[in-house]
A and B are shown apart, each in its own frame.
Chain A
């Protein structure tokens, strides 16, 4: 699982029917101390997060275990909104 910041949304009309009604967000991975990391990912939102929020994203087949993603063609899902990160 990675930490990421929501930086945008994706709208797609033509898509797999199993993705209908799913919110797609653009994520920028961030390090635990808040610095941006390389790349972007498109992720399915399952917790109701919004732009600017720091979230936890899960990738791979585990993303299908997220709420409402069973048997859907999804490989990245947001499964939590971060309150606080504590580094020792």
Chain B
């Protein structure tokens, strides 16, 4: 499941018969920090989400499950409207500071161990 924001809607008169009455929304995928990520896509709506709302959506065959027992040919569906979001992530700058600066390797790599019987030497 992914976060997204509803940024528009799509109309289509000619469509698969099992999709009659399905709303289709343009959704912009978001990171947990609510920054845009990836291309905008078309999702069917099973929740009644509207323009500008923060939602979560599913991808894959599971996207048709909310419409059970109908099986519309959809691969992305909005399945929930987000009320609240708590994200506790270390900011990227702190992560970068925590990574030690690589030091020059002084010890040589050990010589490869010769295993007895690993290679058969045949007499000419």
Interface residues of chain A: helix, strand, loop or mixed (majority) = mixed
B61 x A2 contact (CB < 8 A):
no
Which residues of A have CB within 8 Å of B75? 1, 58-60, 62-63
Most chain A CB atoms below 10 A, which of B7, B10, B44, B76:
B10
Is A32 at the interface (CB under 8 A from chain B)? yes
Q: By the criterion of a CB under 8 Å from any partner CB, how many residues of chain B are at the interface?
A: 35
List 15 extra interface pairs beyond A1-B74, A32-B40, A88-B6, CB under 8 A.
A1-B41, A2-B39, A2-B41, A46-B16, A56-B15, A58-B73, A58-B75, A62-B63, A62-B73, A65-B71, A67-B16, A79-B19, A79-B73, A86-B8, A87-B26
CB within 8 Å of B: which residues of A?
1-3, 31-32, 37, 46-49, 56, 58-67, 69, 77, 79-88
